[in-house]
Amino acid sequence: MSTPKGLYAVGGSHASIYKMDNVTGSLSVLAQTTSAIVGLAFSGNTLCGITSSEFVTINPGTGKLEVVGQLSISGAQSMAASSAGQIYCIATPANQGTSLYTIDTQSGKATLVGNLVPGPAAVAPGCGGLAFDSNDRLYVTATAYNPGSLKTVCTLQTIDTGNGAMSLQNVAIAGVGTLPGLAFYGDNLYAISSTGALYAVNTFSGLATQIGSSNIAGVTLQNLCALR
pTM above 0.85, yes or no: yes
Q: In what order do the strands lie in the sheet with 208-213?
A: 181-185, 188-192, 197-201, 208-213
Q: What is the pLDDT along the chain (228 residues), one digit of tens a residue?
A: 578 899 999 987 567 999 999 999 999 999 998 888 999 999 999 999 998 889 999 999 899 999 999 999 988 888 999 999 999 999 888 777 788 999 999 999 999 999 886 554 444 456 788 999 999 999 988 877 667 777 777 788 889 999 888 876 655 565 566 788 999 998 899 999 888 999 999 888 778 889 999 988 888 898 999 999
Q: Are 197 and 220 in contact (CB under 8 A)?
A: no
Q: List residues bridging with 46 in a β-sheet.
A: 43
Which pLDDT score is estimated for 109? 97
* CA atoms of 19 and 27, how far apart (whole Å): 6
Q: What is the pLDDT of residue 227?
A: 95
Cα distance between residue 215 and residue 26, in whole Å: 5
